[in-house]
Each structure stands twice: as structure tokens, then as C-alpha cells.
């Protein structure tokens, strides 16, 4: 559990807001193909979330682009659905296009 979730007390004695919503952060690296989920953070609004993401997740020159999205806006598959969702693809090797010749100058296939 992060400090933000348990609500820290500032020096001035007033409790900090524990109700800032959670955001998920996605960063595209300099030479990265796409945005990668790197973590989450708390922020009061979208602008603050981007600012926080810049400070928390690109401090070491990692990124050229940031996406943030409210965690509550992500629809995710659940563990209960794991088998009906994913098991049917496990035995269908013929769906992989392994028989193509790939030119040398095409990267990341």
C-alpha cells in the first residue's frame, strides 16, 4: 500500500487528501514500438496525472511520450474468464504465420 493511499500527514498537521483517484501510466521509450504500462499514481485531475507521470516515470530519460488514464476507466478481463478467453488458442499452432520469408531489413517481427 502506498503512502498516498493511507493518507499522510503533512507538517502542518492537516491530513492529505486520500481521495485522489488512481491513474495508470504508459510510457513510450525513445526507441520503443509502443506505450508500455509502467505503473500507477494518484492525482487530482488529468493534467496533474501527466505532471506526476513525468516526474515519477521519466526521470531517467526513459520516455518521449506519456499516456495516463483513470484506472477506473480500464475494462479488464478477469481471472474467472481465463479459460474461456485464452485456453482455446493454446493448441492452434497453425495460426502462426511461420512459413513466410522475412526480409533482413524488416525489424521487430
Cβ(70)–Cβ(21) under 8 Å? yes
**Distance set, CA 77 to CA 32, 83, 85, 103, 109 (Å):** 26, 11, 8, 36, 26
Instruction: Point out which residues bind other proteins (CB under 8 A).
Output: 2-4, 8, 10-12, 16, 20, 29-34, 41-44, 47-48, 51-52, 54-56, 59-62, 64-65, 105, 107-108
Of 10 and 84, CB closest to other proteins: 10
Q: Which three cell numbers stand for residue 31?
A: 526507441
The minimum distance between CB 67 and other proteins, in angstroms, equals 14
The minimum distance between CB 21 and other proteins, in angstroms, equals 13
Of 83 and 104, CB closest to other proteins: 104
SS3 category, 36: strand
Amino acid at each position: 500500500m502506498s503512502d498516498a493511499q493511507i493518507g499522510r500527514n503533512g507538517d502542518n498537521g492537516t491530513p492529505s487528501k486520500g481521495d485522489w483517484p488512481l491513474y495508470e501510466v504508459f510510457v513510450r521509450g525513445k526507441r520503443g514500438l509502443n506505450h508500455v504500462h509502467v505503473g500507477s499514481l494518484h492525482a487530482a485531475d488529468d493534467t496533474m496525472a501527466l505532471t506526476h507521470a513525468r516526474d515519477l516515470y521519466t526521470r531517467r530519460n526513459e520516455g518521449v511520450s506519456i499516456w495516463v488514464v483513470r484506472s477506473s476507466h480500464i475494462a479488464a478481463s478477469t481471472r474467472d474468464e481465463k479459460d474461456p478467453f485464452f485456453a482455446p488458442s493454446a493448441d492452434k499452432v497453425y495460426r502462426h504465420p511461420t512459413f513466410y520469408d522475412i526480409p533482413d531489413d524488416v525489424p521487430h517481427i
